[in-house]
């Protein structure tokens, strides 16, 4: 059951959510945390595939709970005529309609932009996909890592002489969901000025391409002579910028132009500041092997990771230990700030999850929300929002147009 909504910046807005797994649910979760009424529509009998992802306790998925707190759940077979009518009624009274099926699926179901904009001219519709709604790649199946591969991001990640690699995190999905979240917000702002809704096309490939902060311009402006590729522990264009091996963990160190002298002072080697081989970043990149060896030798001589970090921080040199997941979760600073937050779930109990990344001065950061079981809010949505009678809801249940499963 979703707890009573706390007044927030999106209170009063209704979001119709036909998304699943991660990218779409990220966008709608952030909206729910900001006070929007999110109605998640799931297909019977299994609902969002995320409900089956680990870890599951008492039949309930922690993955699903993380991405869907604060949303109402209704389970409707929208392939039936009665199910389609339910969705039409919800579209008429919603502000946002968001889906992340493969391009073309929502139109074949009868709810493409042409149709829904006629049902509700003020509606903001957002479609999330791997490769966008048009173009020759739009029909390809894809998930986060597939888009990472196609975008070239995976191609520049990993050891120089080894295979490409990917992070054990849903960076592309979460980023794409965040882009959708931002686009929806601005489309709603535009609607307040124009009175009109609009269609938003958000894709993983566009989101990943936006992350090439240097690679593409380097290739283009070098007359295609420089092709950025994997550089392993150290950046190919900035030196020093990389991972250095400490006594018990790796340490990330970055010294840009204005920090090189501070790094030399932290290492108690001020003579390096005026060394002609290291005066500029270009010169340090040219002599990168020597620079990396100098820093690594100093770390080895200090022999204490905490001391290395303290000496660097005292000179304002950007650095940090490479933490493990358990260290992150147990970090007292993250817990105090709400970067990691404790939640209470009726089946999973108390546990920590990532906090809400957006903070407003006038509202609480982390809201006390719960995730609904599959179809838990059928009655509430159909009766209280759409005005359906108890008999009509009973008939829809008997005909298996709507479905619920309290064990999820």
The percentage of residues in the chain with a pLDDT greater than 70, rounded to a whole number, is 99
CA dist., res. 269 & res. 240, Å (int): 15
Contact 187, 196 (CB under 8 A): no
* Torsion angle (degrees, nearest 10) of CA 85, 90, 96, 97: -30
pLDDT at 3 over 60: no
**Which domains, from first to last, does the chain contain?**
14-210+331-403 (3.40.50.10540), 241-245+250-321 (3.30.1540.10)
- Check 17, 48, 95, 173 and give the catalytic one: 173
CA dist., res. 385 & res. 373, Å (int): 19
| Reduced DSSP (H G I as helix, E B as strand, rest coil) percent helix, strand, coil of the chain, to 5 | 40, 15, 45
pLDDT at 4 over 50: no
pLDDT tens per residue across span 382-401: 999 999 999 999 999 999 99
End-to-end CA gap in the chain: 12
Q: What is the pTM of this model?
A: 0.94
pLDDT band at 366 (very low <50, low <70, confident <90, very high): confident
Q: What is the mean pLDDT of residues 333-358?
A: 95
- Residue 375 half-sphere exposure toward CB, CA atoms < 13 A: 19
Active site residue 134: no
Contact 43, 75 (CB under 8 A): yes
pLDDT tens per residue across span 220-275: 999 999 999 999 999 999 999 999 999 999 999 999 999 999 999 999 999 999 99
CA dist., res. 254 & res. 278, Å (int): 15
User: What's the pLDDT at 103?
Assistant: 97
- Residue 222 half-sphere exposure toward CB, CA atoms < 13 A: 11
CA dist., res. 294 & res. 126, Å (int): 51
Mean of all residue pLDDT scores within the chain: 95
pLDDT at 5 over 70: no
pLDDT band at 2 (very low <50, low <70, confident <90, very high): very low
pLDDT at 324 over 80: yes
pLDDT at 6 over 80: no
Q: What is the mean pLDDT of residues 173-193?
A: 98
Phi, psi of 40 (to 5 degrees): -90, 120
| ∠ CA 375-379-385, rounded to 5° | 110
| ∠ CA 220-136-105, rounded to 5° | 135
Q: What is the mean pLDDT of residues 29-49?
A: 96
Q: What is the mean pLDDT of residues 55-69?
A: 96
| ∠ CA 329-332-336, rounded to 5° | 105
Q: What is the mean pLDDT of residues 110-116?
A: 98
Q: Find the helix packing angle between 144-151 and 171-194, rounded to 10°.
A: 90
pLDDT band at 23 (very low <50, low <70, confident <90, very high): very high
pLDDT tens per residue across span 201-224: 999 999 999 999 999 999 999 999
CA dist., res. 39 & res. 36, Å (int): 9
Contact 288, 234 (CB under 8 A): yes
Contact 207, 172 (CB under 8 A): yes
């Amino acid at each position: 059951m979703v707890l009573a909504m706390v007044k927030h910046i999106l209170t009063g807005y209704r979001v119709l959510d036909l998304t699943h797994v991660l990218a779409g649910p990220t966008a709608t979760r952030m909206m729910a945390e900001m006070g929007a009424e999110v109605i998640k529509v799931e297909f019977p009998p299994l609902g969002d595939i995320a409900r089956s992802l680990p870890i599951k306790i008492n039949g309930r998925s922690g993955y699903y709970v993380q991405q869907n707190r604060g949303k109402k759940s209704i389970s409707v077979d929208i392939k039936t005529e009665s199910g389609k009518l339910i969705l039409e009624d919800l579209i008429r009274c919603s502000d946002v309609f968001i889906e992340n099926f493969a391009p073309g699926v929502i139109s074949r179901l009868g709810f493409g932009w042409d149709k829904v904009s006629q049902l509700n001219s003020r509606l903001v519709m957002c479609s999330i996909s791997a490769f966008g709604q048009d173009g020759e790649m739009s029909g390809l199946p894809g998930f986060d890592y597939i888009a990472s591969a196609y975008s070239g991001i995976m191609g520049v990640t990993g050891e120089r002489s080894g295979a490409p690699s990917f992070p054990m995190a849903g960076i592309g999905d979460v980023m794409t969901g965040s882009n959708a979240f931002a686009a929806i917000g601005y489309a709603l702002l535009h609607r307040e000025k124009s009175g009109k809704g609009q269609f938003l096309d958000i894709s993983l490939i566009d989101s990943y391409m936006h992350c090439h902060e240097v690679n593409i311009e380097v290739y283009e402006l070098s007359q295609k002579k420089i092709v950025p590729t994997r550089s392993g522990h150290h950046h190919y264009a900035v030196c020093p910028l990389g991972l250095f091996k400490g006594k018990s963990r790796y340490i990330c160190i970055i010294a840009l132009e204005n920090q090189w002298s501070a790094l030399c002072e932290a290492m108690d080697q001020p003579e390096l500041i005026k060394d002609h081989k290291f005066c500029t970043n270009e010169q340090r990149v040219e002599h990168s092997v020597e620079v990396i060896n100098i820093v690594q030798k100093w770390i080895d001589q200090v022999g204490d990771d905490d001391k290395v970090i303290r000496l660097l921080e005292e000179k304002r040199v950007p650095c940090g230990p490479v933490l493990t997941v358990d260290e992150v979760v147990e970090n007292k600073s993250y817990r105090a700030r709400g970067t990691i937050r404790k939640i209470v779930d009726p089946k999973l109990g108390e546990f920590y999850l990532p906090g809400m990344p957006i903070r407003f001065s006038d509202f609480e950061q982390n809201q006390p929300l719960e995730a609904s079981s599959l179809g838990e809010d059928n009655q509430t949505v159909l009766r209280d929002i759409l005005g359906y009678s108890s008999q009509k809801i009973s008939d829809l249940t008997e005909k298996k147009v709507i479905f619920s499963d309290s064990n999820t």
